[in-house]
């Protein structure tokens, strides 16, 4: 019989406690961190991570992975940015192009994996190389700044009233990503797409026999991931002064790491987008917060690595205990 699960055993709850603890520690030890502007800049640099992570949650639940989101994101931002500069296309069109490119690459990943049967890791490694190669051919590109025409798109993530030092800034991007998280949490739990995504990760054979078009939904999981990589490209362009060609490798790891910290099982079949949000914020807090408490920025990477291993070890121990009970 199903046991009543205590809230304490829910990894999302633990992660939430970790977030609160981190924030409290930072606040106590760093007056700098207590400033509104610090919070603001931390949030600024969290959006693209969160968006990538929302997307990659889906392939990870199918027990696959998408390694191309980091380089892909940079690649889309570069291409769209170049189009703004060279062809004067409106920013809104550039944003749509980002999303479209993301979907195309996601579709390609999905087809390679779901239809052609390539191992997810390898297929997305290849698209990671390809998107990186493409992006290295394009000149470094700043998207329009706040004051330039087309700069309005910054307001999607941060409303700015007034100018100079006295400007009031509101991080509405946070509201935006939370909405996305809620939508995708709903999609995961209450739509066919979400349900079959879980089923693919849990027992692919079973739903194939139930007559579900598994290939289609498998491809969809990667396409959705690509779509969010496209959205992340917009968020990335909004905070990075100039998008540099050939970069982006390694950015996907923060997102993927966040998803695992958030409680997606390393073997697929279980996950939640809310957990992902919490997990990514742990990573973001480590990434941007440690310098405030006097640790070199580089310690962040070490701590992130250790936290990631820790999160998965919890999962492993939990599964081992379960196996022992049976």
Partner 1 sequence: MRLSKFKQNPFVKKVGFNRIILFCVMILMYVAFCLLVPGFFGKARILSVMNYVYFLGFLSLGVTFVIATGGIDFSIGPVMFCCALISGYTMVFKGAPVIVSIIMSIIIGFIFGSLNGYLVSYWTIPPFIVSMASMNIAKGVAAVYTKTQSVSWPLSTDPDNGWFRNLVSYNGFPVGLVIFLVAAAICMIVLNNTKPGRYILCLGSNEEAVRLSGVDTKKWKMLAYVICGTLVGIAAIFFVGAYTTVQPGYGDQYNNEAIAGCVMGGTSMVGGLASIGGTVIGVLIISLLQEGILALGFAKDIQLIVTGLIVIVVVYADVMARRRKN
Partner 2 sequence: MSETNEAILVMEDIDKSFPGVHALDHVHFDVRCGEVHALMGENGAGKSTLMKVLTGIYSKDSGKITFEGREIEFHNTREAQDAGIVIVHQELNMVGDLTVAQNIFIGREFMKGFRIDDKKMIEESNKLFDELKIQIDPKAKMSDLTVGKQQMCEIAKAISHQAKVIVFDEPSAALTEKEIEDLFTIIRDLRDKGMAIVYISHRMDEIKVITDRVTVMRDGGYVGTLITNDCTKEDIINMMVGRVIYEDPKTESHVPADAPVVLKVEHLNAGRMVQDVSFELRKGEILGFSGLMGAGRTETARALFGADPKTSGDIYVNGQKVTINSPQDAVKYGIGYLSEDRKRYGIVVQKSIIENSTLATLEKYMKGAFIDKAEEEKITQKYIDELSTKTPSADTLVVNLSGGNQQKVVIAKWLVRNCDILIFDEPTRGIDVGAKNEIYKLMNRLAEEGKSIIMISSEMTEILRMSDRIVVMCEGKKTGELDIAEATQEKIMDKATRDIA
Site residues, partner 1 (CB under 8 A): 65, 112, 116-119, 121-123, 125-130, 132-134, 136-137, 246, 249-250, 253, 256-257, 260, 266-267, 296, 298-306, 308-309, 312-313, 316
| Residues 207-218 as b or e (16 or more Cβ within 10 Å = b) | beeeebebeebb
Angle, helices 214-239 vs 47-61, to 10°: value is: 170
Q: Tell me: does residue 317 bind partner 2 (CB under 8 A).
A: no
Q: Which is nearer to partner 2, 35 or 192 (CB)?
A: 192
**Does residue 232 contact residue 133 with C-beta atoms inside 8 Å?**
no
Instruction: Kindly write out the interface string for residues 258-277 of this chain, putting x where it contacts partner 2 by CB under 8 A and - elsewhere.
Output: -----------xx-------
Which of residues 132 and 158 has its CB atom nearest to partner 1 in the complex?
Answer: 132
> Shortest gap between Cβ of 109 and partner 1 (angstroms)?
11
277 alpha-carbon distance from chain centroid = 8
Q: Distances from the Cα of 116 to the Cαs of 94, 110, 120, 239, in angstroms?
A: 31, 9, 11, 37
Contacts of 185 (CB under 8 A, 6+ apart): 272, 273, 274
Q: State the DSSP H helix or E strand holding residue 161, giving kind and residue range, or none if neither.
A: strand 159-161
203 contact, one of partner 1, partner 2, none, CB 5-8 Å limit per kind: partner 2
Dihedral (Cα; 22, 27, 31, 34), 10-degree rounding = 100
Identify what 325 binds: partner 1, partner 2, none; CB under 5 to 8 Å per kind: partner 2
Q: Is 190 in the site for partner 2 (CB under 8 A)?
A: yes
Site string for partner 2, 5-34 (x = CB under 8 A): ------------------------------
Site residues (vs partner 2, CB under 8 A): 1-3, 186, 190-192, 195, 198-199, 201-203, 205-207, 209-212, 269-270, 324-326
């Amino acid at each position: 019989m199903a046991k009543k699960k205590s809230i304490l055993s829910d990894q999302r709850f633990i992660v939430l406690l970790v977030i609160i603890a981190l924030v409290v520690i930072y606040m106590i030890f760093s007056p700098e961190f207590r400033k509104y502007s610090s919070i603001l800049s931390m949030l600024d640099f969290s959006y693209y991570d969160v968006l990538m992570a929302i997307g990659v949650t889906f392939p990870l639940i199918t027990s696959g992975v998408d390694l191309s989101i980091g380089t892909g994101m940079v690649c889309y931002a570069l291409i769209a940015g170049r189009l703004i500069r060279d062809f004067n296309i409106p920013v809104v069109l550039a944003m749509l192009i980002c999303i479209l490119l993301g979907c195309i690459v996601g579709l390609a990943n999905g087809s390679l994996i779901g239809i052609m049967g390539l191992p997810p890791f390898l297929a997305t490694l290849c698209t990671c190389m390809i998107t990186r190669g493409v992006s290295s051919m394009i000149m470094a590109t700043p998207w329009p700044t706040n004051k330039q025409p087309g700069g309005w798109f910054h307001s999607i993530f941060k409303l700015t009233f007034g100018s100079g030092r006295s400007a009031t800034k509101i991080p509405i991007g946070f509201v935006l990503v939370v909405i996305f998280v809620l939508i995708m949490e709903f999609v995961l739990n209450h739509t066919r797409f979400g349900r079959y995504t879980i089923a693919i990760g849990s027992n692919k054979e079973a739903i194939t026999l139930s007559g579900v078009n598994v290939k289609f939904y498998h491809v969809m999981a990667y396409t959705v991931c690509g779509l969010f990589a496209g959205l992340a490209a917009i968020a990335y362009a909004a905070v990075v002064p100039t998008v540099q060609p050939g970069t982006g490798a390694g950015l996907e790891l923060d997102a993927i790491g966040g998803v695992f910290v958030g409680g997606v099982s390393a073997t697929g079949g279980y996950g939640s987008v809310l957990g992902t949000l919490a997990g990514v914020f742990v990573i973001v807090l480590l990434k941007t917060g440690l310098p405030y408490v006097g640790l070199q920025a580089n310690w962040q990477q070490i701590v992130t690595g250790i936290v990631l291993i820790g999160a998965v070890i919890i999962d492993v121990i939990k599964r081992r205990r379960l196996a022992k009970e049976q």
